[in-house]
A and B are shown apart, each in its own frame.
Chain A
Amino acid sequence: MRLRVLLMLTGAAAIGYGVVGLLRAASVTNPVRWTAQLVGAPLAHDGLFLPVVLLLVLAGRRWLPSSWRVPAAVFLLVGGALTLVAVPVLGRPGARPDNLTLLPRDYVPGLALALAVTAGAVVLGTAVVRTARRLRSRR
C-alpha cells in the first residue's frame, strides 16, 4: 500500500515537472500542438487503427481456412510491425537534395523483401511445428 502511494506521488511529480518544462520552453515545444497530438494519438489508435486491425482479424476468421489462421495472425503481427516502422522512410518525406546520405536506399523493395522473408519464415515455422506435432501424436 505504501509503495503504491509512493509510486503514484512520484509519478504525479514527474508529470508536473514535465508539464512545467514543456510550458517554460513553449517557444520551441509548441505546447498546444504537442497536447493536441498527445490526445490525438490515442484517439487515432483506438478509433481508427485498432478497429481496422480487429476488422482484419474478423475477416481472417470468416474467410481463411482454419489451418491458415495461426500463420496468418503471426504474419499480420510481424509484417504489420515492419510496415509501420517503414512508414517514415517509404515515401522518403524527410529526404533532402543536399544530403544523399539520409535515406540512402530504395525502401519499397526493402520492405517487400522483409515481408517476403517474414512470410517464408512463418510458412517454414508452421511446417516444422506441424511435423513435430504429427510425429509426437504418432508415438
Chain B
Amino acid sequence: MVHSPGAPVTRLAALRGLATRPLPEPPAGLRRGPFREGSFRSRLHDAALAARLGRWLGVLFAVCLVTGLLSHWAQSPDPWVAFPTRPVWLYRVTQGVHVLAGMAMIPVLLVKLFVVYPRLFTWPPVRSLLHGLERLSLLLLVGGALLQVATGLMNIAGWYAFGFFFPVGHYWGAWVTAGALLVHVGAKLSTARAALAQPLSGEVLPPPDEEDRAPALSRRALLASTVAASAAVVVVTAGQTVRPLAPLALLAPRDPRIGPQGLPVNKSAAAAGVEAAATDPAYRLRVDGPVPRELSLADLAALEQVSARLPIACVEGWSAEGIWTGVRVRDVLALAESPEDRDILVQSLQRNGLYARSVLSPAAARDPLTLLALRLGGEPLHLDHGYPVRLIAPARPGVLQTKWVARLGPR
C-alpha cells in the first residue's frame, strides 16, 4: 500500500487552524461595565500572585484527591487489594487530613478567584473555538472546586441541602474537577512558569495622581494573610480529630470528647430503628459457617476477652479513641469453623440503610485487633455505640464499623 506521508499532518494542521481561527468580535458597543478596558485597576489582579496561589491550591487539591481516593478504596466492598489494617491510625490520619485540607483550601480558592476576577471580563469573550473550550473547562474547574468544597463543608455539619448522595456525588465530582484542573494547568503552563519566575518583592509604586488606587495590601501581604486565614480555619476545626486541640475547635461540627461514654456518635439507635431489637433479652448473634452458631451475650462474655485502644474515625473527618473490649472476630468465626480465606459479611440489626452491612477482607477478619466489642472504656456499650455488639477494627472507616451486629459469616 502506498502511504501518503503528508496527509495526516495536513489534516491535523487544518483541524488546528479551525480551532484557533479568530471568531468575529462582538460589536464594541456591547463592551460595557466591567468589560471596559481598565475597569480593574488594583495591582493585586496580577499573574505572579495568581500563579503562586494556584500552586498552593494545586498542592491542597492533590492532598484532597489522594486522601479522597484512599477513602474510596477503604470503603470499596470489592477492592482489588484490601485496604491495609496497619497502622491502626491510618484511616484516621488520611481522612482527618482530607477534611482539613479541604477547609484550608477555602481561603486560598476565594483569594485566587479574587485575583483572577478581571479575566472573567476578557474582551472579546471568545476569541476562537479553542479559547471557548478552554473557558468552558474553567467553568467546570471553578464550579467543580466551589461545589466540592461547599458541599463537603455542609456534609460534615450534617446539612444535606445539596440534594445528592454525598459520597457518590463528591467522588465523581472530584474526577470532573481534577480533570478540569489538569486542562487548566496544561493551558496555563507557559504563562504560569513565566509568572512564577517574577519576584513578588518588586512592588510597582503607583503614579502620584493614582495613589489612592494603591491596594491596601502588598502582594506579599495578601499571600501572607491568605496563609493566615487557612491556618485560622484549621486551628478552629482540627480539634475534631486532633484531641489536644479539641478546646480550640470553636467551629468544628464534632467534639471528640462529647458523646455517650466520651465518644461522638454518627447514627443513633433511634435513627437506625434498632432500640427494641438491640435490647431484646432474646438477642442472639448468628455466626454462619459449616457449623452455624447462635451466641447469647453470656456465651460471648464467656469467650476470651481482648481489649484494644482503637480509633473510631468517621468519613466526616472527626475521630476519637476508645478502649474497646470484646471477642476477636477470628475466634467467633472459628467456632463456626468458617474458612479463613473468605470475605466476611457483617450484618446489623438495622434493617435499612447503606451501612446496615459491611465486608471484612480475609486479612481484616483474621487480624487480632478486629473485635466484636461488648464494652467501651470498661462499661457495656451504650446503645448509640452499638449495644449489644459492634464491630471495631483497625484502620477502618467509621461507617464500616458496623453497630448492633446481628449476624456474620462468609459472604
Residues A94 and B271 in contact, CB atoms below 8 Å apart = no
Residues A88 and B159 in contact, CB atoms below 8 Å apart = yes
Residues B271 and A99 in contact, CB atoms below 8 Å apart = yes
Instruction: Identify which of B162-170, B330-338, B359-367 touches chain A.
Output: B162-170
| A120 cross-chain contacts in B, Cβ below 8 A | none
Max chain A C-beta neighbours (<10 A), residue from B144, B187, B251, B270: B251
Residues A11 and B181 in contact, CB atoms below 8 Å apart = yes
Q: Closest CB of chain A to B185's CB: distance in Å? A: 6
Q: Closest CB of chain B to A139's CB: distance in Å? A: 21
Among candidates B111, B186, B229, B254, residue contacting A101 with C-beta atoms closer than 8 Å: B254
Q: Does A10 contact B (CB under 8 A)?
A: yes
Residues A33 and B106 in contact, CB atoms below 8 Å apart = no
| B158 cross-chain contacts in A, Cβ below 8 A | 94-96, 102-103
Contact flag A93-B161 (CB < 8 Å), given A34-B169, A81-B233: yes
Max chain A C-beta neighbours (<10 A), residue from B150, B175, B217, B255: B175
Residues B139 and A39 in contact, CB atoms below 8 Å apart = yes
In whole angstroms, how far apart are the Cα atoms of A98 and B182 in the complex? 44
Among candidates B142, B179, B190, residue contacting A16 with C-beta atoms closer than 8 Å: B179
Range class of the A interface residue count: 35 or more
Contact flag A50-B114 (CB < 8 Å), given A42-B139, A102-B254, A103-B157: yes
Residues A78 and B229 in contact, CB atoms below 8 Å apart = yes
In whole angstroms, how far apart are the Cα atoms of A4 and B187 in the complex? 7
Residues B233 and A82 in contact, CB atoms below 8 Å apart = yes
In whole angstroms, how far apart are the Cα atoms of A79 and B175 in the complex? 31
Q: Closest CB of chain B to A30's CB: distance in Å? A: 4
Instruction: Identify which of B259-267, B321-329, B390-398 touches chain A.
Output: B259-267
Residues A8 and B187 in contact, CB atoms below 8 Å apart = yes
In whole angstroms, how far apart are the Cα atoms of A16 and B153 in the complex? 26
Q: Does A132 contact B (CB under 8 A)?
A: no
Q: Which residues of B approach A to under 8 Å, CB–CB? A: 103, 106-107, 110-111, 113-114, 117, 120, 137, 139-140, 142-144, 146-147, 150-151, 153-154, 156-165, 168-169, 171-187, 189-190, 212, 215-217, 221-222, 225-226, 228-230, 232-233, 236-237, 250-251, 253-255, 258-260, 264-268, 270-271, 384
6 of the cross-chain contacts (CB-CB < 8 Å) are A4-B186, A7-B183, A7-B185, A29-B172, A73-B215, A102-B264
